[in-house]
Chain A
Amino acid sequence: DVKVTQSSRYLVKRTGEKVFLECVQDMDHENMFWYRQDPGLGLRLIYFSYDVKMKEKGDIPEGYSVSREKKERFSLILESASTNQTSMYLCASGYTFGSGTRLTVV
Chain B
Amino acid sequence: AQSVTQPDIHITVSEGASLELRCNYSYGATPYLFWYVQSPGQGLQLLLKYFSGDTLVQGIKGFEAEFKRSQSSFNLRKPSVHWSDAAEYFCAVGALGFQKLVFGTGTRLLVSP
Contacts and interface: CB of A to CB of B under 8 A. Distances in A.
Interface residues of A, number: 23
B31 interface: no
Interface class of chain A by DSSP: strand
A58 B42 contact: no
Contacts of A41: 105
A90 B43 contact: yes
A95 B90 contact: no
Interface string A93-106: 01111111010000
Interface string A19-35: 00000000000010101
Contact of B43 (A42, A45, A48, A97): A97
B11 interface: no
A97 B36 contact: yes
A96 B46 contact: yes
Interface in A1-43: 4, 6, 31, 33, 35, 40-43
5 A-B pairs with the lowest CB-CB distances in the bound complex, closest first: A99-B43, A42-B103, A97-B44, A42-B105, A43-B103
Interface of B: 4, 9, 34, 36, 41-46, 49, 90, 92, 98-106
